[in-house]
Amino acid sequence: MTENPYQPSLATIEKIKVEVTGERAIKTFKLVFQDKEIQEKFNFVPGQCVMISLLGKGESMFAISSSPTEKDYLEVSVMKHGKNTSALHETEEGDTVGVRGPYGNHFDVEGWKNKNIVFIGGGIGMAPLRSVVNYTINAQKRNQYGNLDIIYGARTSNDLCFKDEFTELQKRDDVNVHLSIDVVEEGWEHFVGFVPSNLLKVKPPTKDTIAITCGPPIMIKFVIQNLLELGFKDEQIFTTLEMRMKCGVGICGRCNIGNLYVCKDGPVFSNAQLKNLEGDM
Amino acid sequence: MESLVISKENFPELINTIIKSYRLFAPTEEKGFSGFNIIKDYLEMDLSYLNSRMPPKAILFNQTETLFLMEPGAKGSIKSKAISNEKSAIFAIRPCDAKGFRIIDPVFLGDVIDPLYKANRDNSVLIGLSCNQPDSSCFCTSFGDSPASGKYVDILFTDIEENYLVEVMTEKGKNFVNNFGRFFTPAPPKEIEAKNAKEKEAIKLIKRNLKVEGIEEKMDKMFNHPIWEEYAKKCIGCGTCTYLCPTCHCFDVVDESTLDKGARVRTWDACMFPEYTMHTSGHNPRPARMHRLRNRFYHKYSYFPKNSDVIACTGCGRCIRYCPVNIDIIELMNRVSEMEL
């Protein structure tokens, strides 16, 4: 029988971690394919995405937030917002979801060896970047990369995703973490202000450095503007884009920017590519 | 290529014989319009049509189609859908609509193969019928095609008064014709000439021309041109143009379920609708009708040529004929073509 690209494989939710509570709740779902062979064959590179569905509710595209160095599972970090994400937030450990992918292009982690990497994330936009962070800090990989600077912010301290992981990272001397929140809070010891401002304060050196950013569109816009001001070249700046998607494989038509489909030609674009891309974003 | 003839006298029996071994789609009268339907008898067929209202793309790319079945819920399971390999023949498809399949083939049969479209495509014989009477909205000739072109079908019929000239265009067509060999005789030269004469007459009836030369390069410079807003002011966003277009292939995927049964289903969708691109966050990359209308024309005349080397328009004229506010693709694209920048 011909393989059906629209049919997902079943995976079990092994673990649900609550990242953020409240109105903009975020949970990280650890997923393991029920068919061992599928799990073993599932290879991806940071930046790639998967279609996740709760059967009977619907399907949505998510960035994989775990690193491919973790071979036994994959994780997606999901903000509760619409119908599908709300349904996902109601699942329990042991429940079944459909997973298909991985889709799209990826961050060039192989090509970035020996370079410094600056991560600039906002809110749930940290999810795809976390895959690269965890890849580059992996014991076998860390010495292949230069300085790692993580600049991450959210509206409030409650909205920061992966808090426990950043607390651990802050103890390491081979990773620099620069957290921020948008408005003043009692007891907050780090930067207060928007992520692009924190970027200017941190002022990462541009030489042999790659900057990758993901967050709300308005944040990305000012982050790129500030990176250019710091002297970064378009070719050094990468972001990952979001679009409504249905098929995930460039057939259903909706995620185009110009003649490119974000699901298969993206989601990762360099600023050099974005500058030449004329389309609706 | 082989040219045969069948007399109109024997034609009904041919159709009724095909029906015995094939699911035969043919134009029938449908609520005052023409539509492709499965026929069980020759008499149901209505060849007095210009073209069907709904393009026969709906036969190979169904408007609603189940992708797989499921037991819904958090402990659910999936059941693959058996893909039908029933043999079909589409009779009297117009050359423009047959070209529509050639245009969307790279979308469905590209890097990722759509198994539903592929099965339908592989199992269908396309039997064309030349347009002897194209109408005022037809413009297939703008793309170098002809109303009597056999290029995109397996077999082409042309009405040449007492007989049909039957041109066998592909191996698939040849195998099909061989099954019904007793109905056909080799075409004498005068019958071939008769077809050529019909074709010439038909081409003369096509009065309108869309100037495609250099249009892609022109559009590269016109993304922010006010012309899109001008036409968007007329557009009511009904989506008729997309549903009736033989090359529009966009679809939505939704889950339909009761408590214990469900299916993931795809349905045709249209870039003219705001929900089509609306993000969960509320952000919409194409919030205004101008963005959506512009995307439709760019998809056909700029993005498709960039990705697949072909303009995604066949000149069938349906979007002109059925647009409730008379947006005319020829008029619009010719203004683009002639624009001084």
Annotate chain B with three-state secondary structure: CEEEEEECCCHHHHHHHHHHHCEEEEEEEECCEEEEEECCCHHHCCCCCCCCCCCCHHHHCCCEEEEEEEECCCCCEEEECCCCCCCEEEEEECHHHHHHHHHHHHHHECCCECHHHHHHHHCEEEEEECCCCCCCCCCHHHHCCCCCCCCCCCEEEEEECCEEEEEECCHHHHHHHHHCHHHCEECCHHHHHHHHHHHHHHHHHCCCCCCCCCHHHHHHCCCCCCHHHHHHCCCCCCCHHHHCCCCCCCEEEEEEECCCCEEEEEEECCCCCHHHCCCCCCCCCCCCHHHHHHHHHHHHHHHHHHHHCCCCCCCCCHHHHHCCCCCCHHHHHHHHHHCCC
pLDDT of residue B281: 87
pLDDT of residue A115: 97
pLDDT of residue A229: 97
Q: Can you count the helices (H) and strands (E) in chain A?
A: 7, 15
pLDDT of residue B204: 97
Q: What percentage of chain B carries pLDDT values higher than 70?
A: 100
Query: Angle A159-A173-A140 (CA atoms, 0-180°, nearest 5)?
Result: 95
Kindly determine whether residue B254 and residue A244, on different chains, have CB atoms separated by under 8 Å.
no
Task: Kindly state the average pLDDT of the residues B263-267.
Answer: 97
DSSP annotation of A7 reads P
Q: A280 to chain B: which residues are within 8 Å by CB?
A: 277, 285-286, 291, 295
For residue A117, what is the enclosing H or E element?
strand A116-122
pLDDT of residue A1: 42
Tell me: pLDDT of A103 over 60: yes
Nearest-CA distance B256 → chain A (Å): 6
CA–CA gap between residue B255 and residue B117 (Å, rounded)? 20
Model confidence pLDDT, tens digit, residues A247-279: 999 999 999 999 999 999 999 999 999 999 989
Question: Which residue segments constitute the domains of chain A, with CATH numbers given?
Answer: 9-103 (2.40.30.10), 116-240 (3.40.50.80), 242-281 (2.10.240)
Burial zone of B324 (CB within 10 Å; 0-12 exposed, 13-18 middle, 19+ buried): exposed
Which among A187, A194, A241 has a CA at the least distance from the CA of A214?
A241
Model confidence pLDDT, tens digit, residues A122-177: 999 999 999 999 999 999 999 999 999 999 999 999 999 999 999 999 999 999 99
Structural domain boundaries of chain B?
2-61+83-205, 215-251+270-338
pLDDT level of residue A214 (50, 70, 90 thresholds): very high
B125 contacts B275 by C-beta, under 8 angstroms: no
Mutate to test the interface with A, among B283, B297, B304, B308 (most CBs of A within 10 A): B283
B184 contacts B166 by C-beta, under 8 angstroms: yes
Q: Least CA distance to B250: which residue of chain A?
A: A252
CA–CA gap between residue B298 and residue B280 (Å, rounded)? 25
Q: Which residue has the tokens 């958090």?
A: B74
Task: Kindly state the average pLDDT of the residues B217-222.
Answer: 96
CA–CA gap between residue A96 and residue A93 (Å, rounded)? 9
Q: Nearest 5°: phi and psi at B224?
A: -100, 20
Q: B269 to chain A: which residues are within 8 Å by CB?
A: 246, 252-254
Mean pLDDT in chain A? Answer: 96
Q: Which residue has the tokens 């595209």?
A: A61
Kindly determine whether residue A85 and residue B286, on different chains, have CB atoms separated by under 8 Å.
no
pLDDT of residue B84: 86
Q: Least CA distance to B302: which residue of chain A?
A: A259
DSSP annotation of A64 reads B
Single-letter residue type at A42: F
Alpha helices in chain A (DSSP H): 36-41, 83-89, 126-136, 163-170, 195-202, 217-229, 271-275
A244 contacts B279 by C-beta, under 8 angstroms: yes
CA–CA gap between residue A247 and residue A60 (Å, rounded)? 10
Kindly determine whether residue B251 and residue A92, on different chains, have CB atoms separated by under 8 Å.
no
C-alpha dihedral, B311 to B317 to B321 to B323, nearest 10°: 0
* Beta carbon pairs, A and B, within 8 Å: 142
Q: A256 to chain B: which residues are within 8 Å by CB?
A: 295, 299, 303
Model confidence pLDDT, tens digit, residues A27-78: 999 999 999 999 999 999 999 999 999 999 999 999 999 999 999 999 999 9
Nearest-CA distance B337 → chain A (Å): 19
Q: B67 to chain A: which residues are within 8 Å by CB?
A: 4, 6-7
Nearest-CA distance A104 → chain B (Å): 13
